[in-house]
Amino acid sequence: MAEVTYLEALRQGLWEEMERDPSVFILGEDVGAYGGAFKVTEGFAKRFGEERVIDTPISEAAIVGAAAGAAHMGMRPVAEMQFIDFISCAYDMLTNYVATARYRAGLATPMVVRGPCGGYVRGGPFHSQNPEAAFFHTPGLKIVYPATARDAKGLIKASIRDDDPVIYLEHKWLYRRIKEQLPEGEDLLTPIGEARLAREGKDLSIVTYGATVWKALEAAEQLARDDRLSVEVLDLRTLLPMDDAAIMRTVEKTNKVVIVHEDTRTGGVAGEIAARINEQAFEWLDGPIIRVTAHDVPLPYAPTLEDFVLPQTEDIVKAARWLAAY
């Protein structure tokens, strides 16, 4: 066992897949000699060569499009978005070309698009986004969003091996903040489509993913201490396809649910989760489904503004307390 950060776990997963399968290659901006803006691919160009770690022009549509073409030919490209905010430049390519390829034309497109997401880092409106809702609506894509070091590694490996295109969202606030003991020499794989019970409880459930898993765990700890509430936390890990069974299990167990995400509220993933609970577990509910999310504004830069806009541990505590008393 060795203690590794979330970022190092991701790096190890990528490295191991590059070693295992010669069809895996990386392309993106500054990923080669420089090693990537966050050093996820540091040392890769030296080990695997420039042809497998390709520095590209600032052209997200070309990065994703070229990855798709290579994937059709049996390669397994991993395309890096330097910041996930820039994935919107490749929105057409991902939603119209990549996502539809298997369905409309029987074309296999095994590729991963990954990049650093999320706020709490004073990144401002264009280095803090969570883009999942924009792609969540698109049949043909898969979306994973690890919260732990183990899943950062397990999901990148599973995403690379998946036969369909996967958007892998990694939270930059977690990169060096989260550490975990991971076994060495073991092929760690996290199955796509399976949620993880991050904390067991019986009074109330928090369904979440990404960085807010940690905020939810903090809130659960505080509620246990201050309110003697037993809070269950479900880490979705994969958003598409969503693990409905795990969501319904926790709803049926605690009968009260708070959905938390860092992304903005309107049209966000929480709305879809709420709708599914309504359709599949309505009679199990003892209270309204609550959403704790960012406010519907572009994410501002100043710490006072960012902290106000984003969901904080205290927001989760307050919302859960209110629901528990309902």
Partner 1 sequence: MVSRAAPTTQSPPAPAGLTRDQLLEIYRYLRLTRTLEERLVALYRQSKVIGGLFRSLGQEGESVASAYALERGHNRDILSPLIRNLGSMLVMGAEPIQILRQYMAKAESPTRGRELNVHFNDLERGYLGQISHLGDMVPVMAGIALTFKLRGEPRVGLVYIGDGATSTGTFHEGLNFAAVQRVPLVVIAEYNRWAYSTPPEKQFAVKDLAEKAKGYGVPGVTVDGNDVLAVYEATRFAVERARGGHGVHVIEVKTYRRKGHAEHDDQHYVPKDELDWWAKENDPVDRYVKRLLQGEWVEERELKAIDGQAKAEIDRATDACVDEPLPPGDSALAGVYADPPALTPHWYRSL
Minimum distance, C-beta of residue 71 to partner 1, in the bound complex (Å): 8
User: Is residue 25 a contact point for partner 1 (CB under 8 A)?
Assistant: yes
Burial 224-236 (b: 16+ CB within 10 A, else e): eeeeebbbbbbbb
C-alpha to C-alpha distance for 192 and 238, rounded to whole angstroms:
6
Short-list 235, 237, 150, CA closest to 192: 237
Percentages helix, strand, coil for the chain (3-state, rounded to 5) are 40, 20, 40
Residue 48, phi-psi category: left (phi > 0), alpha (psi -120 to 50), beta (remainder): alpha
Question: Looking at beta carbons only, is 91 or 284 nearer to partner 1?
Answer: 91
State the nearest-atom distance from the C-beta of 129 to partner 1, in Å. Answer: 20
120 Rama sector, left if φ>0, alpha if ψ -120 to 50, beta otherwise: left
Contacts with partner 1, 186-225, as mask; x by CB under 8 A: ----------------------------------------
Instruction: Give the per-residue contact string, 55-84, with partner 1 (x = CB under 8 A; - = no).
Output: -xx-xxxxxxxxxxxxxxxxx-x-------
The DSSP-derived string for 292-317 is: EEE-SSPPPSSHHHHHHHS--HHHHH
Q: Is 103 in the site for partner 1 (CB under 8 A)?
A: yes
Taking CB under 8 A as the binding criterion, the range among 34-42, 88-96, 182-190, 285-293 that sits at the site for partner 1 is: 88-96
- Give the residue, chosen from 6, 48, 83, 97, that forms a contact with partner 1 under the rule CB under 8 A: 97
> Mask 248-267, x = binds partner 1 (CB under 8 A)?
--------------------
127 is catalytic: yes
127, 137, 261, 295: the catalytic one is: 127
Name 220's Cβ contacts closer than 8 Å, sequence gap at least 6. Answer: 199, 201, 206, 231, 232, 233
Shortest Cβ 224–partner 1 spacing (Å)? 38
Applying CB under 8 A, the site for partner 1 has a residue count of: 43
Cβ-contact 65, 77 below 8 angstroms = no
Decide whether 31 or 299 has the Cβ nearer to partner 1. 31
Q: What is the Cα–Cα distance from 48 to 51, expressed in whole angstroms?
A: 8
Amino acid, res. 1? M
Per CB under 8 A, 163 contacts partner 1 = yes
Site stretch for partner 1 (CB under 8 A), options 7-15, 139-147, 182-190, 285-293: 139-147
* Position among 4, 93, 144, 320 found at the interface with partner 1 (CB under 8 A): 93
Any idea what DSSP says for residue 81?
P
Is 102 one of the binding residues for partner 1 (CB under 8 A)?
A: yes
> Smallest Cα–Cα separation from 16: which of 51, 50, 47?
47
What are the catalytic residues?
127
| Sites of contact with partner 1 (CB under 8 A) | 25, 51-52, 54, 56-57, 59-75, 77, 92-93, 96-97, 100, 102-108, 139-140, 142, 162-164, 241
